């Protein structure tokens, strides 16, 4: 469904598609590590250690 659709949508031969996926994947991981996860951790109080005193 999703994965075959992504593969079919990408242009070029197989190695170009693979390279594209690697670059896009690395970019997604970077955005998550630098922005997504810090935001999530704060917003949803994961391992929050404060008490309202």
Partner 1 sequence: MTSTLRYPGATAHAAGRDAGTRALALVGELMIIAGTVIGLFVLWQLFYTDVTAGREQARVLDSLPWAQVNAVRAPAASGEPGEPPVSVAINTIPPEAQLDPATAPVMKEPRHAATFATMYVPRWGIDYVKPISEGVTRYDVLDRLGIGHYPGTGMPGALGNFAISAHRTTYAKPFSRIDELMVGDALVIQTEDAWYVYRVTSHEIVLPTQVEVIAPVPDHPGRTPNDHYITLTSCHPRFSASHRYVVHGVLEYWSPTGAGVPPEIVEGASS
- Site of tokens 């630098």: 34
Q: Are 10 and 17 in contact (CB under 8 A)?
A: yes
Smallest distance, partner 1 to C-beta of residue 15, A: 11
> How many angstroms separate the CA atoms of 37 and 29, rounded?
10
Q: Does position 7 bind partner 1 by CB under 8 A? A: yes
Tell me 47's DSSP state.
T
Smallest distance, partner 1 to C-beta of residue 38, A: 8
Binding site for partner 1 (CB under 8 A): 1-4, 7-8, 13-14, 29, 32-33, 37-38, 40-42, 46-51, 53
């Amino acid at each position: 469904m999703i994965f075959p659709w992504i593969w079919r949508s990408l242009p070029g031969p197989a190695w170009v598609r693979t390279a594209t996926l690697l670059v896009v994947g690395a970019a997604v991981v970077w955005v998550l590590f630098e922005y997504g996860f810090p935001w999530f951790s704060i917003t949803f109080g994961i391992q929050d250690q404060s008490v309202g005193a």
